[in-house]
Amino acid sequence: MHSDRASAVPAAAQIAADAQRVFDVVREGGVALIHLDVAYAMVARTPEAVRRVYAAKGRNFAKPMGLVGGWPAHEALHRLDAAKRAMINAITVEYDWPLSVVAPYRADHPYLAGLDPFVLQQSTTAGTLNLLLNAGALRTCLAQLCWTQAVAMVGTSANRSLTGSRFSVSHLDASIVEACDLVINYGAARYENAEGRSSTIIDFGNMRLLRLGVCGDAILELLRAQFGVTLV
């Protein structure tokens, strides 16, 4: 395992280099642990790597991972009307808040064709796909590489199942770190919190709140005040 340690998020050039190294490791079948604004996360691509992630987390295979993607992937893959896209844009672009978007997706899109069927199955549920948006510079850079190179990857929080998110490498369980071939350590996550909350998850297909996470109260108030939408 190769670990890079830093006390803060570095300059853009270093982030780009780190994203490339994560991309290379995961593309070749490895598992990478990366810093996100919301928490640390594990990224994988092959069935073997995904199974390694689930084993390290002690996670049930019934619980899906999310697709590593940014705004281009969201715009191309998610099946949403203009009104719902405007909500997502307001949350993630205008207000710069992180958000996990769950929505029906285009299963026949070429971007997903390169994913092993098992891995695709583990990153979708009931005809929906989860994409985390606006989770920090490293995650955004990695998502851009995945999209432009047409190499899809999946990710999940770097913690033992049901124990809450982890916001620094020093607080990770040994099984998580040992499962990773590369660790990118930028110090504490931006949204570190005592409750162990990660991103807020909203199902925009059914307009349901699936998980209240960081910035969640502000997101719900924005949807109510600006779009007249109340989620429970």
Say yes or no to pLDDT of 58 above 70. Answer: yes
Q: How far apart are CA 114 and CA 120, in angstroms?
A: 9
Tell me what pLDDT residue 6 has. 43
Q: What is the mean pLDDT of residues 205-230?
A: 97
What's the pLDDT tens digit per position in 120-170?
A: 999 999 999 999 999 999 999 999 999 999 999 999 999 999 888 999 999
pLDDT score for 141 = 97
pLDDT of 3 > 60? The answer is: no
Confidence of residue 8 (pLDDT cuts 50, 70, 90): low
**pLDDT tops 90 at residue 2:** no
Enter the pTM of the model: 0.93
Residue-wise pLDDT for 173-203, tens only, equals: 999 999 999 999 999 999 999 999 999 999 9
Please, which pLDDT band fits residue 20 given cuts at 50, 70 and 90? Answer: very high
- State residue 91's pLDDT score: 98
pLDDT at 232: 79
pLDDT of 1 over the 60 cut: no
Share of the chain above pLDDT 70, in %: 97
Mean pLDDT of 48-71: 95
In order, the DSSP letters of the chain are -EEEE-SS---HHHHHHHHHHHHHHHHTT--EEEE-SS-EEEEE-SHHHHHHHHHHHT--TTS--EE---HHHHHHHB---HHHHHHHHIIIIIS---EEEEEEB-TT-HHHHTS-HHHHHTTEETTEEEEEES--HHHHHHHHHHHHHT---EEEESS-TTS----SGGGS-HHHHHT-SEEEE-SS-TT--TT---B-EEETTTTEEEE--BTHHHHHHHHHHHH-----
Q: Does domain 2-227 have CATH number 3.90.550.10?
A: no
User: Looking at 21-30, 71-80, 98-107, 156-165, which range is the least confident one?
Assistant: 156-165
Tell me what pLDDT residue 217 has. 97
What are the residue boundaries of the structural domains of the chain, listed by start? 2-227
